Structure 1
Amino acid sequence: MLSLNLGTMLTQLVIVLVLMFLVTRFALRPMLSTMQKRQDHIEEQISSAENNRKEAEKLLAEQREALDAARVEAKEILERSKVQKDREATEIIREAEERANRMVKDASSEINREKEKALAELRDEVGRLSILLASKVMEEEMNESQQAKLVDRYLERVGELQ
């Protein structure tokens, strides 16, 4: 049967309490302290990772804004370049047209001067030939065939001048 001995129970109770005190003091507290430190360290790393993630998102947003701004600026530069190219092309075409018009006008003026010069020379030559013809007619009486020959020679000379 089972007998209960009060002295043994008290001794065992004291031994269990001493053991619990010793385990708590030398094993459980350091272990709990180490676990608390580990938990604090993990929470700190989680917090640091979260802060790094937020900072990375912030930097990513800034990079996207900078990229968008660069794209807008590049687009503006291209548009300005196109406008300037069109303006310069229009200016070059206008200058070329003005130059061509000046050249045509100068050539036309030169042609008119040469024409006037040729007409003046022709008038002088016709006048000289008319005087020469008149003097030949006055020097001698000509018959009809001689007059025709003289007129033909005169016309040939005028034809050579042209």
Structure 2
Amino acid sequence: MQSLTGFLILGAEAEATGVAWGDMATLLFTFIILLVLLRIFAWGPLMNVMKERQDHISNEIDTAEKNRQDAERMSSEAQEELKKTRQEAHQIIEDAKQTAKEQEQDIITAARTEGERIKESARQEIETEKEKAIQALQDQVASLSVRIASKVIEKELSEQDQEKLINEYVKEVGEGR
């Protein structure tokens, strides 16, 4: 069994009495050279590729985290802007309601003032028309009175006498009011 183990371990048939140190040294030297060559030609570039991959993944994670934070910030800003816009819209509606109430009161006040002005104008016009009617009536009464008086007296009055009688009668009627 010993010979089988020696053969498997060293890769050559070992003598039962001794170890093949030369073969072992050759194998060890070859193994070390292989390790150095692997280190120079394979391990370094492999580690560089792994480092680049790690850096790339790290950058992607950082970028994704930054994008997530930016998205959260933008979402928060959009929510704030939406909230502010809603408040402004509500304020505009409230201002419009208040303005409408004020305009309603202004219109009502203006209508009342106009109504009062129209009523006062009508009163003045009625008073003026009343004065004109009284004056016309006085003129007619005076004229009729003079005619009646002249027929009663059966004489013609002169124009001056007639005017004097009219003025006296108008004064009496005016004072009688």
Smaller-chain TM-score bracket: 0.7 to 0.9
Q: Displacement, 1:16?
A: 2.2
Normalised TM-score (structure 2): 0.67
Whether 1:42 and 2:57 are equivalent positions in the alignment is yes
Percent same amino acid at aligned positions? 39
Whether 1:101 and 2:116 are equivalent positions in the alignment is yes
Tell me which moved more, 104-113 or 17-26. 17-26
Q: What are the residue-to-residue correspondences of 1:14-93 with 2, within 5 Å?
A: 14-93=29-108
Q: Once the two structures are superposed, what CA deviation does each residue of 1:117-138 show, in whole Å capped at 9, x if it has no partner?
A: 2123213312331332233134
Q: Which protein has the larger Cα radius of gyration, Structure 1 or Structure 2? A: 2
SS in 1 for 2:107: helix
Q: What are the residue-to-residue correspondences of 1:105-120 with 2, within 5 Å?
A: 105-120=120-135
AA of the residue aligned to 2:128: R
| Structure 2: unaligned runs, 5 residues or longer | 5-12, 156-177
Aligned residue pairs total 140
| Bigger relative contact order (CA 8 A; separation at least 6) | 1
2:14 to 4, 8, 15: 4
Supply the distance in 2 between the matched residues of 1:21 and 1:117 (Cα, whole angstroms).
137
Tell me which moved more, 16-25 or 34-43. 16-25
| Structure 1: unaligned runs, 5 residues or longer | 141-162
User: Which stretches of structure 1, 4 residues or longer, exceed 4 Å deviation after superposition?
Assistant: none
Say what the alpha-carbon RMSD is for the aligned residues: 2.3
